Amino acid sequence: MFIVYLLLWTFMIYWIHRMAHHVPGIRRIHMGHHKFIATNPPPNWHWTNLFLYQDNWISTADVWITEIIPTIIFCWLTDTWWLAGLFYLWQALIQERLEHNPNFDGYPLFTCGQWHMMHHYFQGRCNYGIFVPIWDMVFNSFRRHPT
């Protein structure tokens, strides 16, 4: 069941992230995150990450709207609080070091580093997945970093 819930959750986050590029109010917030990443060096971990604060207020609002609140609702509906714990560890301790780090290549297992930076480079027209690239491959939104 672990894999089933993980796949369902990543499927949900994939579609929320993809919609964040098309729903006007959410798009405006999400594009603020894209603008921050485009104009700043790769972020480093900071103690405020423990409180799920990301980079700046707009990036924090974005991650709460597109990932944290949906994850809490998913875990409540499915009684998968272990997933909330794993997600918290990712957001609080690991995500800042890997997700926007162009020097890290987690492909084909993970959607961070060069994979996610392709999402930013192509202005949100590919690579919407979180953690695993499966949904980008299934829904043909996959784009590999040219190496």
pLDDT given at position 45: 85
The answer to whether the beta carbons of residues 128 and 136 sit under 8 Å apart is: yes
pLDDT given at position 48: 92
143 is a domain residue: no
144 is a domain residue: no
97 is a domain residue: yes
Measure the CA–CA gap between 1 and 118, rounded to whole angstroms: 31
145 is a domain residue: no
Measure the CA–CA gap between 25 and 128, rounded to whole angstroms: 18
147 is a domain residue: no
**Residue numbers of the domain that contains 94:** 2-138
Digit-by-digit pLDDT tens for the chain (147 residues) are: 899 999 999 999 999 999 999 999 999 999 988 888 888 887 788 899 999 998 889 999 999 999 999 999 999 999 999 999 999 999 999 988 888 888 888 888 888 888 899 999 888 899 999 889 999 999 999 987 665
Beta-carbon neighbour count of residue 79 at 10 Å? 9
Beta-carbon neighbour count of residue 53 at 10 Å? 17
49 is a domain residue: yes
146 is a domain residue: no
Q: At what angle do helices 2-19 and 69-78 cross, to 10 degrees?
A: 150
pLDDT given at position 146: 64
pLDDT given at position 140: 95
Q: What's the domain count of the chain?
A: 1
pLDDT given at position 23: 94
50 is a domain residue: yes
